[in-house]
Structures are given as C-alpha cells and as structure tokens.
Chain A
Amino acid sequence: MNITLGQYYPVDSIIHRLDARAKILATIIYITAVFCAKGVIGYGLCIGFLALVIVLCKVPFKLMLRSLKSIIFIIIFTVALNMLFIRTGREVFSLGFIRITTGGILTAVKLCIRLIILIMGSSILTLVTTPIALTEGIERLLRPFKKIGVPSHEIAMMMSIALRFIPTLIEELDKIKKAQMARGADFDTGGLVKKAKAMIPLLVPLFVSAFRRADELAMAMEARCYRGDINRTKMRELVYGRGDFYALGIVTALTICVIALRIIL
C-alpha cells in the first residue's frame, strides 16, 4: 500500500514551521510563477527556488522523487505528443510520417521541466504540512467567503475526517477482499460483467462499514460537545509570523521577476 503520496513527513525545519496559510498561498503564487516562466533565466529562477526549498525542508529527496512516479506516464505521454506534433525549427530525425524537430524537442523539454517542478512544488506543500494544518489553512483562507455562503468550517471538517479515515478504509477494504478470497472469491478472471459482479461482495461490506463508522464517529463527536463552529476555539490558532511574511515576500518577488523577464525578453 502506497501511503507516501502527499503524506506529511515529520521533521522540524523552517519550512515546516511556516503558517499553513502562508504555505498554501506561496504554493499558489509559485505555480503562477512556473506558468509564467520563459527562457533559461525564468526556468532557472523557478528551479533554483525549488532547490532552495527542498534543501531547507529537510525531506529526503528520494521521497519527493516518489511523488513523480505516479505521473511518469503523463510526462512521457506529453513529451511524446509534443515531439511528434510540433514541427518548427530544424528537422533532426525522420522516419515515415514521424518527424522530430528541434522546436518539438525544445517544447517537450520545457513542458517536462514545468510538469516536474509543478508536481514537486505542490507535493512539498503536503509533505511539510500536516493534513490538519492544511485543512485549517484552507478553512481560514475561505473564511472571508463565509458571508457569501461558503461553509468553510464544514468543508475543512469533512476534509480532515476524510483524511483521517482514508487509511482506515483502505485497510478495511484489504481485509474484506482477503476474507472473500478465503471464501473462494476470484477478482481477477472473467469478463467485464463477471468482474463487476465480483465487486459486490467487496463494496457492500465496505459501505456498510463506512456508514457504521460514520454513525459511531458522529456519536463520539457529539459526546465531545461538537456542534459545528459555534463558540469553537483552536489549540493552535494560526498566527502569521515574521517568517511567513518573508516567505510570501520572497515567492512574490520571484514571481514578479519571472513575469518581468517574460515581458522584457
């Protein structure tokens, strides 16, 4: 079971200590920068900044590379597509209808770099921020929109409960699957209809269990005096520190540079 995708990596670093809101905003600003990047200097700045964050956050580089594993096919696919269909510049190679040009290679490389730094940049957010802090950050960032009817607290609560229960339900599904296999169930052979039918013994118990858990959880929450965000406080109220302003300042400056470079060049 792969549980590392977007999972929090618990070490203490300057990046870990930043306010969740600052981290979310910085990620969004950084993504903007990556989309605006043009030319060697633009990309260089983005990569340099990413490298700096990677070093500062103390998360093993290997773990970050793993987040790329899941999108490797998307990368290969886009690269191949670009190489095949963009026909600008000098021709490098040709075989039958396949023609690969310098323009195609350049675009493919650019896209590839862009995708990789995008994925790594956003996976850092989840590696250095606890899911709880993340949902809390989202809640706080959405709070101004509460007046226009955005249920920010409820959204955050649902997200954090989902995060809490995803591993539990995955484990449960694994157990149910094994139990049905022990009763001779076969999930791998047969046509589509047979395979779909074979899912019933998995899905029914899983849903029954999810509802039972939801019921018990709701009761446990009520027993602990939960009633939405009426009068609710937080143990760690998010407070912007000096570091958060620095971080946001740096990432904003980076973005401005990148955009300026794009306009000038």
Chain B
Amino acid sequence: MNFVESRNLQFEYIKYDDETDEKTAVKALKGVDINIAKGEFVAVLGRNGSGKSTFAKLINGLNIPTDGILYVRGLDASKEENIWDIRQNVGMVFQNPDNQIIATIVEEDVAFGPENLGMKPSEIVKNVDMALKAVSMEEFRNAAPAYLSGGQKQRVAIAGILAMKPECIILDEPTAMLDPLGRRDVMETVTMLNKEEGITIILITHYMEEAALADRIIVMDNGRVAMEGTPREIFSRVEEMKALHLDVPQITELSHIINKSVNSFPSDILNIEEFTDAFKYYGWNKAFHHKKENASPKYNKPILEVKGLTHIYGKETAFEKVAIRDIDLTVGQGDFIGLIGHTGSGKSTLIQHFNALVRADEGEVYFKGKNILEDKAGLKYIRQKIGLVFQYPEYQIFETTIYDEVAYGPKNCGLSADEVDTRVKEALAFVGIGEDLYKKSPFDLSGGQKRRVAIAGVLAMKPEILVLDEPMAGLDPYGRDEILGNIKRMHDDLGITVILVSHSMEDIAAIADKILVMNKGSIAMYDTVDNVFREPERLTAMGLNAPQLTLLFKRLKDELGLDIPVNVYDVEEAAKILISALKE
C-alpha cells in the first residue's frame, strides 16, 4: 500500500461575505487522485489557489475531506480517531519561520512535539539531540530563535518535526522567505533526510530548481491534478507549464528551445552538469555569434548620494551591532540598480536611510545635491520624492477600501482632492487594478493583488526614486512576473530611478543596469550587471549566486573552451548563441 492514497478527494470550505451576508461554498479540491509511495520525494507545483496547501493539510489531518477517499499510512484520514496517529507520522513545516516556533529556546521548541506525544524525558532528550544534529543546528541548541536567520529558523522547524520521528514530512513553501544561502541549506537538509533517512518528502514550492531535485512532480491547477511525472518529463513540457502560469528551470527551457532548431539535441536537461555533458557529446564547429561585452557603465547625473554612512544598532549595550559601516554610494538619475546581499548584510538598514526613516550615526544622504535632513522642503517632501516599498507591503494595508488605501499617501502630502483622485486612479491603473474594485476591501484581494495595491499606494506619491525591498517575495511565478513587469514599466515609461532589493539573481540580471552587492555591512561590489556576475565565486563566498545561465555559460567556456560571453541573461538570446555553433 502507498503511503498516501487518494481517490476523488474533495474539499470545500465556506466563504463568508461581510457585505452581502452571503455564504458560498468554495471547492478547493475537486477530485484528486494521488498516490505517494513510502520514501518518495514528491514536489507539488501550482499557482496560488490551485489547492496545493489544501491537499497538504488534508494529509496532515489539519483539514478533513469533504468527499472522496484519503488513506495515509493505511489509515482513513476522514476518521477523527485516526488523526493523532496520522499527525504523529506526518510532520508539516510551514512557510513563515516566525509563526511556527513556539518556544523561546531552540531545544525547547524542538522538544515541543515529542512532549505532546507524551514521550519519556530521556527519550525526548535523545530525539532532540538527533534532530538538531540532522539539521546541523546542535551549536544553537540554547540560542533564542529570534536571533537566528530565516534559514536557521526553518531548520529548527524541521528539527521540531524530526524529533517526533515521522515517516513523512510535508513542507509548504519552506524557502519562500529565505535568502539564497538559507534556501540552499534547507534544500540540502531536505534532500539528505530523504536519501539517508528514507523519510517521505512532500515539498510544495514555487522554485522550479527545487522541484527538479524531486523524484516526481505533481502539478496542480484549479483543484485538480494537471500533470504528473518525473521532473524531466514535466519540465520538458514547457508550453503546458507556461499555460498553467508556471515556470521551468532556465536550463531546461534553454535545452527545449535549442531542441526546436536542432532536433537531436535533448530537450529535457535539468541541470548545468547534464547540459555541459550533452554539449560535449554533441560537439560544435562554427564560430559563435554573440554581442561584444559591454564593460563601460553608462553614466547618469547623480540624484542620490550617500557619504560615509554608518549605523550601529543598540549602541553601547550588550547587543551592539554595526549594521552598515562607512558606505559611499552614488545613484544616477534614471538608474536601475539591483541590490543584493545575504540576510543581515545591511541592505534594509541602508535603504531606510535614503528617506530618513532611520538616522545615521555618521554620514549624510544627499538628494539632488541637498542633505535630506537639512532640505528646507522638509521630510515630507523627501519621503514623497524617495518612495520606499517595504517587504510584504500588503501587511501595512489598513483602509476599508482599495481607493482609500492608495489615497493615504497622497492625502498625507497635503494635495488637493482632485489631485489625490487623479493620482489614485493613475497608480491603480498602472498596476492593473480596475475601477470596479475601487470600493472593495483590500483585505478581500488575492495575495498578488494586495501587493500591487500596496505598491500603488507608494507610486501614487509620484516618487522620483523608488526603492523596493524584495517586492516579489512569496509570490507564485505568475505574480512575480506581473510585479516585475510593473516595476520595469515604472522605470522605462515613468522615468523613475529604481533600486530593487531581490534574492533572485535571474530577475536582477534580466532587469537591472547596475548591481550593488552588500556584504557584512559594507559595499562589496558596485558595478554593471556583467562585471558583477563575471565573478560567480566571489558571490558564492558571500552567500549569493550568479544566474543559472551565467553559471552554465561560464562552465561551457572554462571546461570546453568555447568562445562565448558569460553576460547572457535571457534564455532566447542564450539559445541563439549556442544554436549558432552546434553541429547540424
């Protein structure tokens, strides 16, 4: 018998509308047949609202099926008396590390599950030791979770499940809120648990590179299973995936495009190693067509200047920490700057100085040549001109209607009612929120829509510089593309100078002109996209990465001695270059 077996599994919940007092039944799952074998590593993909999380919660007994059959470990999951047995053997790790850690000390938190199961104290100690060791967090056993990084917190959460000795772990977007290093650590832990401990893994994710590590992928759409197969099978169906608003790894897409022109080239390559091997096997003959590397950065008139900026948290206390040290930086008018750096590198602290939300211990910030703290027009003017969109901006929403939410900023600027109205409408139209939604509550929107409303709230202030702190975090591929497209248009069409903080090197490469790399509170690099990604080793050492395509091209160049550039960030363009040389 399979570990998980479902037949025509259905789940519906009641949605309550405040305004109309209407209750409607929403079908989240509309008949799902899934089998998962013991020891298997399954990735579940699907856009937001496709039913992935609902399915996961059913397996763990957090939801009870409305209809259909669900067996977990041979136990009927629709029967109340089996729930505890199931939960004990199927652990679940959630997206937000902060909201699943219960205790104030790491080891106490890991012990929480075993304590609930009524294990003997000696056994709990043993299990906690084992679990912390498995996720390489032994040295933090007495630490307070508040002082850990996101990746470390997620590993503590995994340890908390492991200590219960489960047969299966479900992870619901465990890396959505993490930086590249944290993501890597969590994925290594998960893969190790599957391969070495034989634990069944069900991984829900929006990252295609993570899904590629699984034995099998299940793609869900609209409450049903849309596709099922090995990563190789699934990702080679590029068009189908895109139609479902999903993505495929860049490498796979590249091989798929090449395959269309050169039919005998494999179309289902999953990673860089395989690609290099395939290329080696295939051989090449002609000279490569490619653009010349463009090394000189374009120079724009300075709009924002930072001089000798230092910020220390908790000065003269036991918790003193230098967040940024002696930062010098010039941003040109019309620049599009990608800001990258590991968690705690000082990115967020730095950008909060740009509009004087925090005061520096040393150093100044100048907007158009004037010190922002001494500008006669005042702080309100500065904050209007330098817009800042925080991480998860939808968490700052408070108004009762979408219109009022966006109007909050312009109203604070003291504009006339007419001007406020024009700006709200312009901003909402720009992010693609229609007039029919103006009077709706922003809390009723989907995650991606909420975020666009929140961004519109800053855009409506007509900033000349817009700083966005990870605006794509936690969204599905479709939502990510939408936001990214909006930002690009703000830069290209509205002429706004953009500083974009992101953990996605692919996004940064595709959209930015320059990259600012922060490391341990200092600027490690500030150069053109090409020059920064030219040295992937340096980035890796800082807990970062280069885009997949860059890594591939660098490998082809170094290992096979191909005469190709490494500054290629677009799949179509990469395909064109490689096709030009492959043997017919």
Interface residues of A (CB under 8 A from B): 1, 3-4, 10, 60, 63, 130-132, 160-161, 163-164, 167-168, 172, 175-176, 178-186, 200-201, 204-205, 208-209, 212-213, 216-217, 219-227, 231-237
B578 part of interface (Cβ distance < 8 Å):
no
A235 and B393 within 8 A (CB): no
Bound complex: CA A199 to CA B341 (Å): 34
Considering the complex, give the chain A residue whose CB is closest to the CB of B400.
Answer: A204
Contacts beyond the supplied A178-B358, A220-B102: 5 A-B pairs with Cβ under 8 Å: A182-B458, A224-B91, A234-B121, A235-B124, A236-B121
A175 and B118 within 8 A (CB): no
Contact of B94 among A60, A175, A200, A220 (CB under 8 A): A220
A179 and B390 within 8 A (CB): yes
Bound complex: CA A116 to CA B145 (Å): 32
A182 and B383 within 8 A (CB): yes
B412 and A182 within 8 A (CB): no
Contact of B115 among A208, A219, A235 (CB under 8 A): A235
Number of interface residues of B (CB under 8 A): 67
On chain A, the residues within 8 Å of B357 by CB distance are 178, 181-182
B343 part of interface (Cβ distance < 8 Å):
no
B98 and A168 within 8 A (CB): yes
B390 and A132 within 8 A (CB): no
Nearest CB in chain B: distance from A170 CB, A: 10
Also in contact, A235 and B113, with CB within 8 A (given A183-B461, A217-B100): no
A164 and B113 within 8 A (CB): no
On chain A, the residues within 8 Å of B317 by CB distance are 4
Bound complex: CA A217 to CA B107 (Å): 18
Q: Which 8 A/B pairs are nearest by Cβ-Cβ distance?
A: A184-B412, A204-B398, A220-B100, A235-B111, A216-B99, A183-B409, A231-B118, A224-B113
Also in contact, A234 and B115, with CB within 8 A (given A217-B99, A224-B160): yes
A224 and B103 within 8 A (CB): no
Considering the complex, give the chain B residue whose CB is closest to the CB of A135.
Answer: B104
Bound complex: CA A191 to CA B125 (Å): 57
A130 and B104 within 8 A (CB): yes
Interface string of B431-453 (1 = CB under 8 A from A): 00000000000010000000000
On chain B, the residues within 8 Å of A172 by CB distance are 395
A132 and B98 within 8 A (CB): no
On chain A, the residues within 8 Å of B506 by CB distance are none
B352 and A233 within 8 A (CB): no
Also in contact, A178 and B112, with CB within 8 A (given A183-B412, A208-B443, A233-B124): no
B2 part of interface (Cβ distance < 8 Å):
no
B148 part of interface (Cβ distance < 8 Å):
no
B245 part of interface (Cβ distance < 8 Å):
no
A4 and B318 within 8 A (CB): yes
Considering the complex, give the chain A residue whose CB is closest to the CB of B108.
Answer: A132
A164 and B398 within 8 A (CB): no
Nearest CB in chain B: distance from A247 CB, A: 23
B71 part of interface (Cβ distance < 8 Å):
no
- 16 A-B interface contacts by CB (under 8 A): A3-B319, A130-B104, A131-B104, A164-B145, A175-B390, A178-B357, A183-B458, A184-B384, A201-B408, A204-B398, A208-B398, A209-B395, A220-B102, A223-B91, A224-B112, A225-B164
B111 and A185 within 8 A (CB): no
B396 and A176 within 8 A (CB): yes
Nearest CB in chain A: distance from B131 CB, A: 12
On chain A, the residues within 8 Å of B443 by CB distance are 208
B429 part of interface (Cβ distance < 8 Å):
no
A178 and B352 within 8 A (CB): yes
Bound complex: CA A180 to CA B352 (Å): 13
Interface string of B70-106 (1 = CB under 8 A from A): 0000000000000010011001101010111111110
Nearest CB in chain B: distance from A41 CB, A: 36
On chain A, the residues within 8 Å of B383 by CB distance are 181-184
Nearest CB in chain B: distance from A245 CB, A: 22
B287 part of interface (Cβ distance < 8 Å):
no
Contact of B104 among A164, A180, A217 (CB under 8 A): A164
On chain B, the residues within 8 Å of A185 by CB distance are 408, 412
B104 and A132 within 8 A (CB): yes
Contact of B390 among A182, A227, A236 (CB under 8 A): A182
A225 and B121 within 8 A (CB): no
B398 and A205 within 8 A (CB): yes
Nearest CB in chain B: distance from A49 CB, A: 26
B121 and A235 within 8 A (CB): yes
On chain B, the residues within 8 Å of A132 by CB distance are 103-105, 108
Contact of A225 among B88, B409, B461 (CB under 8 A): B88
Bound complex: CA A205 to CA B458 (Å): 17
Nearest CB in chain A: distance from B443 CB, A: 7
B108 and A164 within 8 A (CB): no
Find residues 483-528 in chain B having any chain A CB closer than 8 Å to their own CB: none
Also in contact, A221 and B380, with CB within 8 A (given A234-B121, A235-B111): no
B115 and A227 within 8 A (CB): no
Considering the complex, give the chain B residue whose CB is closest to the CB of A182.
Answer: B388
Interface string of B139-153 (1 = CB under 8 A from A): 000100110000000
Contact of B142 among A10, A168, A176, A236 (CB under 8 A): A10
B104 and A168 within 8 A (CB): no
Bound complex: CA A130 to CA B142 (Å): 10
B37 part of interface (Cβ distance < 8 Å):
no
On chain A, the residues within 8 Å of B94 by CB distance are 216, 219-220, 223
Also in contact, A233 and B319, with CB within 8 A (given A161-B102, A225-B164): no
B387 and A182 within 8 A (CB): yes
Interface string of B109-147 (1 = CB under 8 A from A): 001111111111100110010000000000000100110
A182 and B355 within 8 A (CB): yes
On chain B, the residues within 8 Å of A163 by CB distance are 104
Bound complex: CA A63 to CA B458 (Å): 42
A179 and B103 within 8 A (CB): no
On chain A, the residues within 8 Å of B408 by CB distance are 180, 183, 185, 201
On chain B, the residues within 8 Å of A175 by CB distance are 390
B182 part of interface (Cβ distance < 8 Å):
no
B560 part of interface (Cβ distance < 8 Å):
no
Nearest CB in chain A: distance from B114 CB, A: 7
B116 and A164 within 8 A (CB): no
Bound complex: CA A221 to CA B398 (Å): 28
Bound complex: CA A263 to CA B91 (Å): 63
Nearest CB in chain B: distance from A182 CB, A: 4
Bound complex: CA A10 to CA B319 (Å): 13
Tell me which of B92, B161, B355, B398 has the highest count of chain A C-beta atoms within 10 A of its own C-beta.
Answer: B398
Considering the complex, give the chain B residue whose CB is closest to the CB of A231.
Answer: B118
Considering the complex, give the chain B residue whose CB is closest to the CB of A215.
Answer: B99
B318 and A225 within 8 A (CB): no
B457 part of interface (Cβ distance < 8 Å):
yes
Bound complex: CA A178 to CA B396 (Å): 10
On chain A, the residues within 8 Å of B458 by CB distance are 182-183
A233 and B121 within 8 A (CB): yes
On chain B, the residues within 8 Å of A224 by CB distance are 87, 91, 112-113, 116, 160-161, 164
